Amino acid sequence: MANQIFPGEYKSLSEISDFVINRALISGFLANDIYSIQIAVDEACSNIIDHAYGKEDLGYIELQVEEIENGLRITIRDDGDPFDPEEIPDPVLDSPLEERRERGLGLFIMRKLMDEVTYDFSSPNQNKLIMVKRKSGA
């Protein structure tokens, strides 16, 4: 298991990406799955900065990457504002671009790229996002 804490700022996203890619490579993931993990984690961390904190430099992003049978479990923690993911509807992808909502696409992408996406707001003053990716063919 590997843990690392990053400042809640956009320039941390490349370091976060490197950290996650490295862990996925060590775990034996193929390039397509590594790309999916990278995009999902980047989207989650961008959402933390944009929505949980509302701007940069207001908190931290903690990543925990754990090898599980045939995959990885990635836990992302922050102390920003919580939200209810069930209140964010899936985007309507076949509607005209000018009619589409601005929110919800990131959560949709994370759910499409990862095998499991769950939120835990049970700890006071801490949000926890848990994403699981299994190796292709597993």
The closest of 87, 124, 91 to 105, measured between CA atoms, is 91
pLDDT tens figures, 36-61: 999 999 999 999 999 889 888 889 99
Q: How many CB atoms lie within 10 A of CB 42?
A: 18
Alpha-carbon distance values, 61 to 50, 64, 87, 99 (Å)? 12, 10, 23, 33
Q: What is the pTM of this model?
A: 0.88
Domain 2-134 grouped into CATH 3.30.565.10: yes
pLDDT tens figures, 52-91: 898 888 899 999 999 999 999 999 999 998 877 777 666 6
pLDDT tens figures, 89-134: 666 555 565 655 555 578 889 999 999 999 988 888 899 999 999 9
The domain locations on the chain are: 2-134
